[in-house]
């Protein structure tokens, strides 16, 4: 079973994404902020991370940089879930992505369609 | 501004001439203040300290070289005052030399009283006109300066408002999206049966709620798009795209929807590829907005997308056989939030921003868009996009090379 870590400061969103992913046979680990997320990423080394960007104290961008500092976490694919803006793509699923320190990360704009969420997750999960 | 009492300085060492001048000046129609000095040196000193409206200078004084005095008084603080030279002018070249050195006029001795009076009066009048003009110009300049300052201040305020508006819009958008995500996904999980079985009728109602959440999301997206486009903050990622294939793809996406409304969605395209230099995502948005509108306002008939090639641009048309738009509404059609009361099926409401966005995107590409419509017959949107031109690129490279 693939393991996905979700990091978001909104407990409702964490709960909903968790339910949706569990329903689709993923093991879900939850974190309520960047700090907790980093800790769990190092400890549990999930297959994929879904992360909010605008979080208090540590932003998603900062968290990504710190993930890259650790050998155990630097290769885990990260998908941003963002309410900052949602530049649409023609197909409406994945948007243009987010640039952190010159590196490009896939991003899904909030609110998202659960189908889009699942398809982005499937696409970026290492087989 | 009226000169209260013109001040006249007489530099003359001959007492008789001086008295006669004084007599004439006192009988002018303009009341003047007259000061007399009998030496060039004192005259020049006077002029450095005070301003006068007219200087009458005797060119042939015994102890002073009149020309030198003339040169010196031109260094005075207010250089604009007129200087009348008086002399017997036995040497005719003296007049010319005097005028060249900056004298305004000459009067021959012995004086003809009427002439002196007339010439002095003319100089005083000119002086008055000059002062009026200067005063008006200074006043205007001061006014302009003040206006400029005021404008600058207002401009800075506006920029600050603009920044605050952007920040506000960004925050509002963020704050709206988070609860919207929770509402959408909660309803979505009920509809998908994750929480338990849901009767069909309830599913219908919840699906309607979902559709309207998506509509709300589109409005937020469009508002941000418009705000970015208006600030010129939109960058185009231009690439070489085969527009024929792109239009076919876009049409394919809309076929189901068109079929559901019993409308025919068709295209008239060239057989070969037509390459354009465009931002693909944004161009798709233009087609999507126009086709979406056509579907919304067409009850029967068809929607036709066509493409014509010109030398360095292509012309695209999205034509429908819908209800058309009244002529009086056409000029404001591309304005923000302009929606016209066209009856359409429920659940098909727009944001009123689609055409504004389409127009901005086309114009960002250097193209233009316009609409032709007849009520009851249909509407056609026509817009241009730049062609991908190998020749032009090579040409530009050549110019660079030669440099």
Does position B402 have pLDDT exceeding 50, yes or no? no
CA distance B237 to B282: 9
pLDDT of amino acid B2:
65
Q: What is the pLDDT of residues B311-354, one digit of tens each?
A: 889 999 999 999 888 888 888 888 876 665 454 444 445 667 88
pLDDT of amino acid B330:
84
**Domain A3-124: which topology?**
Rossmann fold (3.40.50)
Mean pLDDT of B202-216: 91
Does position B403 have pLDDT exceeding 80, yes or no? no
For residue A44 the two structure tokens come to: 């549990």
Q: Which residue among B170, B180, B189 places its CB closest to the CB of A20? A: B189
Percent of chain A with pLDDT over 70: 90
Q: Is A83 close to B174, i.e. CB distance below 8 A?
A: yes
**Which residues in chain A come in under a pLDDT of 70?**
85-97
Give the DSSP H/E element, type plus range, for residue B144: helix B113-191
Question: What integer best gives the mean pLDDT of chain B?
Answer: 86
Note whether B212 contacts A: Cβ–Cβ < 8 A.
no
Q: Which residue among A19, A89, A110 places its CB closest to the CB of B189? A: A19
pLDDT of amino acid A96:
59
CA distance A60 to B391: 46
**Chain A residues with CB inside 8 Å of B184's CB?**
111-112
- Closest-CA residue of A relative to B184 is A111
Quick check: helix, strand or coil at residue B45?
helix
Burial letters B149-167, b for 16+ CB under 10 A, else e: eeeeeeeeeeeeeeeeeee
Does position B227 have pLDDT exceeding 90, yes or no? no
Helix, strand and coil content of chain B, in percent to the nearest 5, comes to: 55, 20, 30
When computed from its CA atoms, the radius of gyration of chain A, rounded to whole angstroms, is: 13
Q: What is the pLDDT of residues B238-258, one digit of tens each?
A: 889 999 999 999 999 899 889
- Closest-CA residue of A relative to B287 is A90
Q: What is the pLDDT of residues B128-137, one digit of tens each?
A: 998 899 899 9
**Chain B residues with CB inside 8 Å of A17's CB?**
185
Between B278-292, B363-377, B382-396, the lowest mean confidence (pLDDT) is in B382-396
- Closest-CA residue of B relative to A52 is B178
pLDDT of amino acid B119:
93
How many other C-beta atoms lie within 10 A of the C-beta of residue B190?
Answer: 17
Longest dimension (CA), chain B: 127
Q: Is A20 close to B194, i.e. CB distance below 8 A?
A: yes
Q: Which residue among A84, A88, A110 places its CB closest to the CB of B181? A: A110
Does position B375 have pLDDT exceeding 90, yes or no? no
Say how many CB pairs under 8 Å bridge A and B. Answer: 67
The answer to whether ipTM exceeds 0.90 is no
Note whether A76 contacts B: Cβ–Cβ < 8 A.
no
Note whether B248 contacts A: Cβ–Cβ < 8 A.
no
The angle, 0 to 180 degrees and rounded to 10, between the axes of the packed helices A114-124 and B113-191 is: 80
From A53's Cα to the closest Cα of chain B, the distance in A is: 11
CA distance B125 to B53: 10
pLDDT of amino acid B54:
93
Q: Is A23 close to B288, i.e. CB distance below 8 A?
A: no
Mean pLDDT of B367-372: 93
Note whether A104 contacts B: Cβ–Cβ < 8 A.
no
**Chain B residues with CB inside 8 Å of A111's CB?**
177, 180-181, 183-185, 213, 217
Between A36-45, A87-96, B363-372, B382-391, the lowest mean confidence (pLDDT) is in A87-96
Question: Which has more confidence, B353 or B362?
Answer: B362
pTM score, two decimals?
A: 0.58
**CA distances (Å), origin B68, targets A71, B24, B63, B64, B351:** 93, 27, 12, 8, 83
Confidence band, pLDDT 50/70/90 cuts, at residue B226: confident
Q: What is the pLDDT of residues B52-88, one digit of tens each?
A: 899 999 998 888 888 888 888 877 766 778 999 999 8
CA distance A81 to B177: 11
* B83-87 and B238-242 beta bridge pairing: unpaired
Note whether B227 contacts A: Cβ–Cβ < 8 A.
no
Mean pLDDT of B341-369: 74
Mean pLDDT of B23-30: 88
Note whether A15 contacts B: Cβ–Cβ < 8 A.
no
Q: Which of residues 181-200 of B touch A (CB under 8 A)?
A: 181-186, 188-189, 192, 194
Closest CA to B381 of B274, B281, B286: B286
Is residue B356 exposed (0-12), middle (13-18) or buried (19+ Cβ within 10 Å)? Answer: buried
Q: Which residue among A16, A83, A84 places its CB closest to the CB of B185? A: A16
pLDDT of amino acid B400:
39
Confidence band, pLDDT 50/70/90 cuts, at residue B157: very high
**Chain B residues with CB inside 8 Å of A22's CB?**
none
């Amino acid at each position: 079973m693939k393991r996905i870590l979700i990091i978001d400061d909104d407990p409702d969103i964490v709960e909903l994404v968790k339910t949706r992913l569990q329903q689709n046979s993923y093991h879900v680990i939850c974190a309520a902020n960047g700090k907790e997320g980093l800790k769990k990423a190092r400890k549990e080394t999930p297959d994929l991370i879904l992360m909010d960007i605008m979080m208090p104290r540590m932003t998603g961008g900062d968290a990504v940089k710190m993930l890259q500092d650790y050998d155990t976490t630097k290769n885990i694919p990260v998908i941003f879930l963002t309410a900052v803006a949602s530049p649409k793509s023609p197909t409406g699923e994945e948007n243009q992505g987010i640039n952190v320190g010159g590196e490009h990360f896939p991003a899904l704009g909030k609110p998202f369609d659960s189908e889009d969420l699942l398809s982005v997750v499937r696409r970026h999960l290492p087989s | 501004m009226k000169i209260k009492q013109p001040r006249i300085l007489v530099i003359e060492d001959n007492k008789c001439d001086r008295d006669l001048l004084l007599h004439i000046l006192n009988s002018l129609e303009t009341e003047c203040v007259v000061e007399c000095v009998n030496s060039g040196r004192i005259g020049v000193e006077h002029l450095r300290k005070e301003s006068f409206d007219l200087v009458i200078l005797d060119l042939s004084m015994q102890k002073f070289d009149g020309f030198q005095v003339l040169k010196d008084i031109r260094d005075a603080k207010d250089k604009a005052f007129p200087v009348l030279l008086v002399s017997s002018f036995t040497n005719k070249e003296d007049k010319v030399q005097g005028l060249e050195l900056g004298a305004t006029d000459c009067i021959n001795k012995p004086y003809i009283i009427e002439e002196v009076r007339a010439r002095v009066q003319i100089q005083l009048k000119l002086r008055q006109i000059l002062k009026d003009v200067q005063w008006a110009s200074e006043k205007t300049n001061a006014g302009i300066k003040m206006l400029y300052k005021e404008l600058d201040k207002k401009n800075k305020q506006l920029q600050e408002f603009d920044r605050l508006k952007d920040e506000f819009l960004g925050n509002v958008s963020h704050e709206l999206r988070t609860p919207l995500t929770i509402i959408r996904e909660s309803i979505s999980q009920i509809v998908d049966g994750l929480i338990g079985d849901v009767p069909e009728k309830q599913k219908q109602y919840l699906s309607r709620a979902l559709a309207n959440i998506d509509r709300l999301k589109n409005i937020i997206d469009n508002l941000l798009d418009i705000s970015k486009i208006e600030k010129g903050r939109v960058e185009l990622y231009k690439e070489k795209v085969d527009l024929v294939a792109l239009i076919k793809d876009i049409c394919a996406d809309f076929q189901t929807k068109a079929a559901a409304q019993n409308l025919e969605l068709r295209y008239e395209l060239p057989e070969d590829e037509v390459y354009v230099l465009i931002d693909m995502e944004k161009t798709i948005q233009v087609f999507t907005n126009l086709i979406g509108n056509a579907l919304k306002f067409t009850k029967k008939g068809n929607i036709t997308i066509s493409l014509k090639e010109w030398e360095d641009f292509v012309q695209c048309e999205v034509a429908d056989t819908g209800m058309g738009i009244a002529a009086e509404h056409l000029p404001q059609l591309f304005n923000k939030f302009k929606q016209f009361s066209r009856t359409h099926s429920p659940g098909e409401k727009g944001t009123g921003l689609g055409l504004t966005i389409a127009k901005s995107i086309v114009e960002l590409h250097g193209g233009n868009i316009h609409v032709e419509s007849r009520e009851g017959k249909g509407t056609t949107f026509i817009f241009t996009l730049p062609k991908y031109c190998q020749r032009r690129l090579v040409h530009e490279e050549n110019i660079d090379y030669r440099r």
